[in-house]
Amino acid sequence: MSESALREQMLPIGSFGRKSSGWYGVWTLVLTEAAIFVYLLFSYFYLASQANGEWPIGGAPSLALAAPNTLVLLASSTALIWAERSGARRGKRIQLLSGLALALFLGVIFVIVQLREWQGKAFSIRSGTYGSSYFVVTGFHLAHVIVGLTLLLTLFIWALRGDFDAQRHAPITIGAIYWHFVDAVWLVVFTALYLVPRLG
């Protein structure tokens, strides 16, 4: 670029809107974690293709808890989108805090329902390749949800302290990317583990 252009241009300093090193950082993390889930589901489908016992054990898993729970997680993402767009970007603290609180609440519901879903299973992590795959895939996802909830709680505390305004709210954007990723992964896991067995 020319020197005159250089003189004219004023650059923002520090984290500004979504411009921040953490924004790139979280996308790198998302890429890595997405790859892990791809390999996990590869393993699941590979074992399914080679299975000579019952797969899934007891037929396709029930949707009674899993389907509503999927909606709960989607609602949580929606609440966070609202918190970011109507709250963080406009510097409105009440919207930001209530959106974060709602996302957090719905996330906790998801974890509780998911634990009940686990309790209701007639097989365990030691029950052949299906039991191992089912619990390791959903367990990996649940671990990501719990990390996401810790993250939402932290964002809530920071927002409560008044750390963010319309310009400085990169942590909210960064955290939201991670949380939406965790939800998107659930849709893939749900499709693979709950819906695909119903096709055949």
Name the site residues for another protein (rule: CB under 8 A). 1, 3, 6, 9, 11-16, 19-22, 28, 31-32, 35-36, 39-40, 42-43, 46-47, 50-53, 125-126, 128-129, 131-133, 135-136, 150, 154, 158, 162-165, 167-168, 170-171
Measured CA to CA, the distance from residue 75 to residue 69 in angstroms comes to 10
Pairwise CA distance, residues 134 & 147, whole Å = 20
Give min distance, CB of 68 to another protein, in A: 29
Residue of 176, 154, 153 lying closest to 105 (CA atoms): 153
CB of 126 to another protein, least distance (A): 4
What amino acid is encoded at 44 in this protein? Answer: Y
Q: Is 82 or 123 the residue whose CB approaches another protein more closely?
A: 123
CB of 78 to another protein, least distance (A): 25
**Please, which residue, 23 or 82, has the CB nearer to another protein?**
23
**Closest CA relative to residue 141, chosen from 47, 73, 63, 68:** 73
CB of 54 to another protein, least distance (A): 11
Residue 69 or 133 with smaller CB distance to another protein: 133
Burial class for 133, CB neighbours closer than 10 Å (0-12, 13-18, 19+): buried
Identify which of residues 42 and 68 has a Cβ nearer to another protein in the complex: 42
The residue among 164 and 179 lying less far from another protein, judged by its C-beta, is 164
82 touches 74 (CB < 8 A): no
Distance CA 88, CA 159 (A): 9
Q: Residue 11 to residues 7, 60, 89, 168, 174: CA-CA distances in angstroms?
A: 10, 56, 19, 15, 21
Residue 106 CB, shortest distance to another protein, in Å, is 22
